[in-house]
Each structure stands twice: as C-alpha cells, then as structure tokens.
Amino acid sequence: MKKINLLFVLVLLYAGVNAQSNYVKEHFTKKEVYITMRDGVKLFTSIYTPKDASSQNKYPMMMMRTCYSIAPYGEDKYPQRLGPSEIMMKEGYIFVYQDVRGRWKSEGNWTNMTPVIDNKKSKKDVDEGSDTYDTIDWLVKNVANNNGKVGQYGISYPGFYTAAGILSNHPALKASSPQAPISDFFFDDFHHNGAFIEGYFFTFPVFGVQKTDTTSKAWYSMLKPDSKDGYQYLLDLGPLKNADKFYHDNFFWQETINHPNYDEFWQKRGLLKHYGKVKPAVMLVGGWFDAEDLTGPLAIYKTINKTDPNAYNTIVMGPFGHGRWSRETGHTMHSNVYFGDSIATFYQKNIEAKFFNHFLKGKGDKKSGLPNAYMFNTGKKKWATFDKWPAANAVHEKMFLGADGKLVNTQPVTQGSVSYISDPLKPVPYTEDNTTTMGFTPHNYMSEDQRFAGRRPDVLVYQSEVLNDDVTLGGEIMAHLKIATTGTDADFVVKLIDVYPADEPNNPYMPNKNIILSNYWQMVRSEVMPARFRNSFEKPEALVANQKTDVNFRLQDVLHTFKKGHRIMIQVQSTWFPIVARNPQKFVENPYKADESDYIKATETVYNDSYIDVQVLK
C-alpha cells in the first residue's frame, strides 16, 4: 500500500512538472529574429507573445538582454518559464530576450561593461544604451499587438544591461528594474575598492574569450583543476603572475592585470557619472547577502536620487544571496540563518509584479502604492518601509576599537593599540566551508559563522557588552582606521558581526547539522580596503613603515537589529583568502605582477582612536 501511495505521489509530481514545462508552449507563440543596430550589427532576439493577443487585447513588453545565452534556440523550443517570475509570466506580457552584442547568436564584438558614449556623433558610436534604444524602437514598431510600453529587467550582468538601458532614453521604456547590477567593475564584482576578488578566478573563460561566429554552443573552455580545495589550489598557484599559464590569451584577464589602478580603462566602464534626467520608473533590487553585486543597486539608487531627485526611483533590499529573490525556496535561508518562509514569493507578488503592472498596464504615475525603499531587516527578520534611504531618523554614532578588545561609543582618553602579524603565505581563510571555494563565485560566506577567524592570532576582535536593548543599524557604515605597519602596503578587512547568546537555539532548517547557533558569530557586513588606495584610487601610494596612517573606507549599507542579549562585534584582519587576492605587503607598482619575494610578513597595528561610523535608527 505504501508503494502504491508513493507511486501515486510521484505521478502527481511528474504531472505537475510536465504541466509547468508545457505552460509556455501552450500559452505563447515564439518568434526568433535578428534586429539590426544603427551600425549594422544584428542582435539575436527571441519574442514570446501570448496566444490571446489581438488588436483588442494588447500587451506590454518585458525585455531582458543578457550575455549568458537566451537558450533554448529554435522557434519550436520553449523554456519552462518566462519573465522574472511565474507570477509575471501569468500576468500577461510579451516577453523579449536578446543576446547582447558579441555573445552567442548575436553578431559583433564583445566587451565587458561596455563604455558609455554620452555624445554619439555617428552611427558607429554604439553602447548598451544605443543597442537598447534600437531594440525597443524595432519592437514597438514590429511586434504585433503590443501596447507601446516596455519594461526591462535583469539580474547580475543582465542587471548591468538594464541599468545601462536606462540611459537609452527611449520614450517607450516606461519601467526599469536593474537587479544586482554592476555599476563599476573597480568597486563591485571583480574588485572591491580595487582589491582583486580572487574568488572569481575560475570565471575568466566566460568573460575573456571572443567567439569567432554566431553560435548556440559555448566557445570557451573552463579550467579543470585537479583539486576541490580552492584555498590550497590558489595558494599553491603562488603570485597572480603565475596565472598567465592559463590566461595568457584571455583578453579580460590581460585587461585586469594591466590596469591595477582606477585608470581611464575602468573609469569609462562605470555607469554612475552618466545618470542625469531619468525617464523610466526605476526599481533597484538587491540582496543584503549578495557576495557578487551588493554595491551596484545601492550606488545607482543613491546616484539617481542625487542627480535627478524628481525621478521615480526606488530600491528593494531583501535577505537574499545573489539573485535568489527570483526563485522561491520555501524556507528562506542564507548559509545557516533562517529568515522566514516564502519571502521571494512575497517580493515577486507584492513588489515586483506591482511595480511593472502599474507602469506598463496601469496609470503609470508616481502613485504606485510602493514605498521609496522596501528594506528587509535582517535582525528582526521582517520587511520595513522608508520614505527615503538612508532613513531620515538615522543618527550617526561612533564605535571605537579599544586596545582592550572592547567596542565602545566613547573615544579612549589615552592612546593604545593592538598588533598582529600578517603572513600572506598563511592567509586567513574567508570561510570554513572548502566545498564553496572552487565554484563560479562564492555565496554563503556573507552570513557565515566567524568564530573560526576570530580565534586566529592574526584577526583582531572588538566586542560590545551584552546589549540591554535592541540596537538597529540602518544606513551607511564608514570605517576610520588608524594603522601602522612594518611593511609598505597592506589590506585591511573590517567585518561587522552579530554575536548570538549562548542559549540561541538552532533553527529547524540548518543545512549543516554540525553548526550550532549557540554563540554564533554571524557576519552582517564586511569589506576590504587596500591601504595603497587610501588617498587615491587612481594613484596608489606606499605606506611609510611604522608611521601612523589613516585608512578610511565605506562598507555597504545595512539594516540589521542587534537584539537584546546579543553583542556587536568588529573584526579586523589583513588577509581574506581566497576571496581576496593576497596583498604582498611590500608596495609594488602592479600587485598582479609581484614576484614571490615581494610577499612578506608584516606587523599591523591598529590604534584605539580607530572607529566605525554607523547610522542608528532611533
């Protein structure tokens, strides 16, 4: 009887999956076209139109442009789902997908983060804004039964194409939602404050090999390491110059190692300086635990607020890793932390669909019914809404790094310091979970337990007293370190940590049963800063050995309530491997080309007038 019941359940599950996979084919008609850009390059585009579309029943269009392939290819081949969510798919839209210039079945040459050309003087002056404009223009004129309104969305690199698409200024583009977008490659994704994110080492074949013709199959080959331990593999690789044996003909690797500073090459790939008057309604979306693109949504949101305060410009930040709001997981987890159930569905139904429906099907005015900032409090584990971000009632407070290891709100009366020896040959790991160190990009470390790091002698720990009341940090974070080193260069990593009480119970969905939440040190926010860039990202400067020096840098925003009975902790360290490439600690003009002999031990000193500036919601 049990076997029969199990078989019945399996039949029902298969039927459900099969029905879902057939939904698109049953409800949409697919067409594949090449759309010609102003310079003659043709971009491959798939268009899915609802079968009930007619001159009396017109639909808006939802477009995603991507470098990651719009497969399945073939007008008789259908994906299992369309749009940003199943909810949106069933709302009724014409869905458009496009391989961007130089990728997959599209023509042209590929470049990472295509530079923006503000003043286009000829048809040869093309960028992602012009390609977006030309695509939209063709779509509204040639796709039957559209209502003349277009929305654009995309996550990660497609988020960048969405953010760049805002600059197209096409009048039919009414709503734009860049999700986890890259805004500047020197501060997000492949770099953080110019520090190279070596955790991306294995991704370079995807981004640094030109194809020779239009194709539906991958033209690049990924590395096949003989190890499953990324820490050891990359440590054994040695200096980054040794990677040339793998990537000597990888153009993106060569661009990266030959531009170690924030020079014109990187500057012209940034989006932020190009936002002026913004025509479409904008909704930035990000995850508080996005290990790839946390900077982008916050930076673009704040920039548009500054440059065009009259624009409809909103932001959503949820308790997610990279792009994970796009798929419902039931129990919403990040690493070992449980935030609640069906949070992605709530976002998709009550925020994302509401945004696009209002601007593409509804009145399209600024009265969308959505707040300016829809932010998830990762400590209280619930949504909060704000009229602006950072919130108007956010108050700046300083947390000083006491020489006795205490985190206090008043500056110590007498000068003190604490030191540690940083050895780039024995770097502090960024995670205990070695199974995550060989993947495409790391994810879980953004909320992982930090006890393993804080118990090393080369990691400084500063901790508050047990909190008598809840403390909510909501807004920006700035680290103001006063340091000295026996070397001439150093990285400084600052981590903001929520220390759980001893009686904290495990949640029922713990992915790793060997982890306990009793005294768990949950990372809430973190960032790295190369001291070489302390005065200028364009012109690095060596540190003067043994001289007290200011190193100031921004951590990304936060909305987190440290609950009564918890503690607030700050950790400071100088290696964070292999998420961040090792700083030689001896100043060299180009760290990517440092020799083995350039990697030296150094004693790092942090003075007790160092502090972390936070914004507290009162």
pLDDT at 21: 64
Q: Are 606 and 572 in contact (CB under 8 A)?
A: yes
pLDDT at 513: 83
The token duo for 471 is 């403390």
pLDDT at 512: 86
What does DSSP say about strands 337-341 and 331-334: parallel, antiparallel, or unpaired?
A: antiparallel
**Distance, CA of 482 to CA of 484 (rounded, Å):** 7
**Distance, CA of 356 to CA of 343 (rounded, Å):** 19
Residues near 338 by beta carbon (within 8 Å), at least 6 away in sequence:
331, 332, 507, 508, 509
- Block mean pLDDT (10 aa), the chain, length 618: 38 42 94 98 98 98 98 98 98 98 98 97 98 98 98 98 98 98 96 97 97 97 94 97 97 98 98 97 98 97 97 98 96 97 98 98 97 98 98 97 97 96 98 89 93 98 98 98 98 99 97 93 98 98 98 98 98 98 98 98 98 97
Strands (E), 198-355: 281-287, 313-318, 331-334, 337-341
Q: Are 569 and 467 in contact (CB under 8 A)?
A: no
Closest by alpha carbon to 45, among 30, 59, 28, 55?
A: 30
